[in-house]
Amino acid sequence: MTYRIDISSVAKAEMDAAFLSFSQFVTADRAQTWYQGLIDAIASLQEMPQRCPLAREDAFFSQEIRQLLYKQGKQTYRILFTVLEDRPILTVRILHVRHAAQKILGEPEVED
């Protein structure tokens, strides 16, 4: 089965912000290659999106939230998505693209 990819406006803005941040430290060609790799990673979710594990955020939301990791080490980004199979068109909805070091979405604040 092939799934349609739907990228939320929030995720698009996060992708653009990550690209701008990354491009400050590398050449324009390398930044463009990084961004194209991110697009390719997202496109890979058209086939078997359930291969990706549940994200840590899954515990805080009613929808099942999965993640696909892009890159490694300090450059790791988490592509957070949900799979919508109850629609006429099977869809992978990209919710967020976040750096791995960012706080988990939905996690309650811990007070000291």
Q: How many helices (H) and strands (E) does the chain have?
A: 2, 4
Tell me the C-alpha to C-alpha distance, in Å, between residue 95 and each of 23, 31, 58, 80: 23, 22, 12, 6
> Total domain count for the chain?
1
Question: Rounded to an integer, what distance in angstroms lies between the CA atom of residue 33 and that of residue 36?
Answer: 5
Instruction: Tell whether the model's pLDDT for residue 6 goes beyond 70.
Output: yes
Range of the domain at 35: 4-99
Residue 76 covered by a domain? yes
Q: Give the model's pLDDT for residue 97.
A: 97
Q: Give the model's pLDDT for residue 41.
A: 98
Residue 34 covered by a domain? yes
Reported as type and span, the H/E element at residue 70 is strand 66-70
Q: Domain holding 89: CATH number?
A: 3.30.2310.20
Instruction: Tell whether the model's pLDDT for residue 109 goes beyond 80.
Output: no
pLDDT digits (tens, 9 = 90+) for 41-89: 999 999 999 999 999 999 988 899 999 999 988 889 999 999 998 778 8
Residue 105 covered by a domain? no
